[in-house]
Amino acid sequence: MNQRKIGLLLGDEEDWPTAFEALARWMGSTLTYRGETAQIEVERIRIHPFQLSAPTSYNLVIDRLAYWHYQPREWLKKAALVNGVYLLNNPFTFQSMEKHSAYCAMLRLGLHIPDTWLIPPKAAPDTEKYRRTAVKYHDLFNLPDIANEIGYPLFMKPFDGGGWRGVSSVADEAELIKAYDESGQMLMHLQAGLDNFDVFVRSLAIGPQVISLFYDPEQPQHGRYQIRHDFLSAEKGREARIITKVINAFFRWDFNSCEAILKNDILWPIDFANACPDIAITSLHYYFPWAIKSLLAWSLFCTVTRRPMHITMDIAPYFAIADSDLSYEDKLTEYEKLADAHFQTEEFNAFKAEALPQLDEVMWRLAQSEEFDHILVQTVQTTFPPHEHEQYIAHYRGLLRHWVEAEGG
């Protein structure tokens, strides 16, 4: 019997890891695919000094920490290069391909990226060498002129992103100057704002599995994802799913979200390099079970089939399509073929059908259990102030009961 271990590299989150562990346990510790049986173990990873040549017992790691926690990030690189561990996500591209590079790449593929400028930091490093270089080579520029060329409203946001850190909505020159003054040494983008839009959609992707959700960033965290079906036409829903899947395949990301705005029948991707996409139960609520079962399915597929870690990128086939005379819609179709080949979509679907036929039913039963309810209650109690506990426990129980009823029908 093959021993296979999934490692969870975590921060302070408890809801989804506990639900993931519970679903794995409810599914049973063994599964069979193509005549071979695998013994599955899930374990939370500890952080400590490591020898670069040391072996590891993990076959796959779901990373939710290393984007900002450097010690485990470097361990992940070692694990991929030395030990052949499969990683969700690729730390090499998430470190180097921040939002700026992601914008550039998707512009190159012909996606509808809002007009974006990179501007020098307001506060320079306090070194003599930097000052001498700036005097010799840095051009003076007029920030209001650039903003006028882009047009108001616009957004000022860090080139590398990170949980809405440093993002400012700018309506006029006074707000522009204030936001720039407050940005300090951060390197910032100025990006055209898309006001009076029709729909804000956030797509969550895990391997080839994509779900597109109605999203309202103006709401508090617990109210941003809203239960709305058919808010996109079939055509635009397909486009949102393809764009998300293509971005992830291009950069070798398996677990990522893509925010896009639909305005005047054009879908504009605006934020799509999210190393730790939000999957909290208090955020996703109704959609939380989908995320947990999709994450387990993809993790098991990669682990059991020994899917190799794709560290390097293969961008030439994408650029060949981008440079062709195909229409935008036909380019999307060809991009999707490349993405599906990368994610082995057909083989993954066959794996689910053979090895995980009971997954949906088990997730449905788990969502109705006392164990699952305990996860919900504990999360609410650590997220909201005490006087709101009763209100939000009832609120989320209702949303999850709605999912159970919808799936059970």
pLDDT band of 68, cuts 50, 70, 90:
confident
Range 261-289 average pLDDT: 93
Q: What is the DSSP letter of 42?
A: E
Distance between CA atoms of 234 and 212, rounded to whole angstroms?
12
For CA atoms 57, 81, 10, 396, give the dihedral sign. Answer: negative
DSSP string, 106-139: HHHTT--PPPEEEE--SS--S-HHHHHHHHHHPP
Range 62-70 average pLDDT: 87
Distance between CA atoms of 104 and 254, rounded to whole angstroms?
20
pLDDT band of 99, cuts 50, 70, 90:
confident
Range from 109-123, 200-214, 265-279 carrying the lowest mean pLDDT: 265-279
Question: Is residue 97 predicted with pLDDT exceeding 80?
Answer: no
Amino acid symbol at 281: I
Residue 162: per-residue pLDDT: 65
Sorted by where each begins, the domain ranges of the chain are: 2-95, 115-192, 199-274+308-342, 362-408
Q: Do domains 2-95 and 199-274+308-342 have the same CATH topology?
A: no
Residue 164: per-residue pLDDT: 67
Question: What is the rounded end-to-end Cα distance, in angstroms, of the chain?
Answer: 38
Q: Which residues contact 221 (CB under 8 A, 6 or more apart)?
A: 278, 280, 282, 283
For CA atoms 12, 18, 24, 28, give the dihedral sign. Answer: positive
Residue 347: per-residue pLDDT: 98
Contact 50, 75 (CB under 8 A): yes
Contact 205, 244 (CB under 8 A): yes
- Nearest Cα to 240, choosing from 277, 215, 212, 266? 212
For the stretch 111-124, pLDDT in tens is 999 999 999 999 98
Distance between CA atoms of 8 and 243, rounded to whole angstroms?
27
Question: Is residue 275 predicted with pLDDT exceeding 70?
Answer: yes
Range 295-311 average pLDDT: 96
Tokens for 400, please give them. 């999850």
Contact 179, 156 (CB under 8 A): yes
Distance between CA atoms of 293 and 286, rounded to whole angstroms?
13
**CATH match for 2-95 among 2.60.120, 3.40.50, 3.80.10, 3.10.450:** 3.40.50
Range 192-208 average pLDDT: 94
- Nearest Cα to 258, choosing from 205, 188, 337? 205
Query: What is the value of pTM for the model shown?
Result: 0.92
Give me the CATH code for the 115-192 domain, please.
3.30.1490.20
Structurally, at CATH architecture level, domain 199-274+308-342 sits in 2-Layer Sandwich (3.30)
